Amino acid sequence: MFNNVVQIVKEASKYLKLTNKVVAELLKPKRILQARLKIGRGKNKTIFSAYRVQFNNARGPFKGGIRFYPKVDLDEIKALALLMAIKCAVVNIPFGGGKGGVKVDPKQLSENELEELSRAWVRAFAKYLGPDKDVPAPDVYTNEQIMAWMLNEYEKLSNKKSPAFITGKPIALGGSLGRDTATAQGAFYVLQAVMKKIKFAGKNPTVVIQGFGNAGYNFAKLLWPSRYKIIAASDSQGGIYNKSNGGMNPEILMRTKSQNGLGAGCYCAKSVCDCCNYQRLTNEQLLTVKTDILVLAALENQITKENAGKIKAKVILEIANGPITTEADSVLQRKNILIIPDILANAGGVTVSYFEWLQNQKHQRWTKAQVFNKLKSIMIKSVNDVCKTVDSHNVGLRTAAFILAINRIVNAKK
């Protein structure tokens, strides 16, 4: 994964005529922190590998989530830390890039063990953390409760109140309104701005959504009252396709997901399904459905060189991180499929994290309307900035976003 990101950075750097020395500095993490966290006592003691990669802070404090995940490794954390630096620069917020993680299956831990692990992570890296040094946030299998434990541990160690130490925390502890749906909200603003830019001709664009979790579902709820028709959606078990190409209400889809799973292939929550116009699909089949817009909101590496040639969407929106491999990206570009890259499309989450940090620093509390108005302004401006770079260098949106971000990072260091 890290090598894939490095390849894109090097390609984008050519357009800026950066020296090899400058590119090498861009691709070198400032600090790699590793620890072995000991949880439990005596024979019940378990040791977990923990990481924090602080990649670049030329534009502000390191910023990035902490994931508790069984497949966490240093290569992945390095790649995500670099991408965070790029992402923050794309939307022009004053943060650098960082990422953290623990190699653990949190589902196997009790609540007490989870709290112990969360506090141990802070103790291991506390020297390098802080509101003006490194600001963590939730990520895969971490949530506002884990952020609350981490905040409490940091405040005990520093012996002072520091709500700006971490974002994604509960509202009562200084969390921001709108943070729970910020990624979807930002993605919606980006999609609307891009569709306007390209003067999309269709009256009711069809949409296929892979990944009906928090981001995918909230994004679907924003599409529903607008002019978009959701014709297919999937969760980890599979998906459902409306053969008549009619739109599907995301609320009903979520009820179905909760009771039967979308892999059941029905658009209802009945024990006996009578959905004759609907078809069950695998996630692989869902990707190849003919549609105007394909939303990738699941996992990384979903479109590869093996299936890229089968994609029939006109526009692909990346809400997930890295859902398209580098090889597949080239295939899709040759097919003239417009890709709205993750570092732009899903930057709403880190942007509202910045708002949370700012509110904490200034001792303010913004309304949800204020948060979303500010978010809309930043996301639309970011789309405009990326599109100007497209025109200047005759490149795709992904390369343009990297060019824009790298230029801002390099200039910040001067």
Q: How far apart are CA 373 and CA 396, in angstroms?
A: 28
E-strand ranges in 277-397 read: 278-281, 291-296, 313-318, 338-340
Active-site annotation, residues: 99
- Sole residue written with tokens 């949880």: 39
pLDDT 10s digit of each residue in the chain, 414 long? 788 889 999 999 999 999 999 999 999 999 999 999 999 877 788 999 999 999 999 999 999 999 999 999 999 999 999 999 999 999 999 999 999 999 999 999 999 999 999 999 999 999 999 999 999 999 989 999 999 999 999 999 999 999 999 999 999 999 999 999 999 999 999 999 999 999 887 789 999 999 999 999 999 999 999 989 999 999 988 999 998 888 899 998 998 888 878 877 777 655 555 666 788 899 999 999 999 999 999 988 899 999 999 999 999 999 998 899 989 999 999 999 999 999 999 999 999 999 999 999 999 999 999 999 999 999 999 999 999 999 999 999 999 999 999 999 999 965
Sequence-distant (≥ 6) Cβ neighbours of residue 278 within 8 angstroms: 240, 241, 242, 243, 265, 266, 267
This prediction's pTM: 0.93
In single-letter form, the type of residue at position 78 comes to K
Nearest of 330, 287, 279, 341 to residue 312 by alpha carbon: 287
Structural domains of the chain, with CATH? 28-173 (3.40.50.10860), 176-414 (3.40.50.720)
CB atoms within 10 A of CB 343: 28
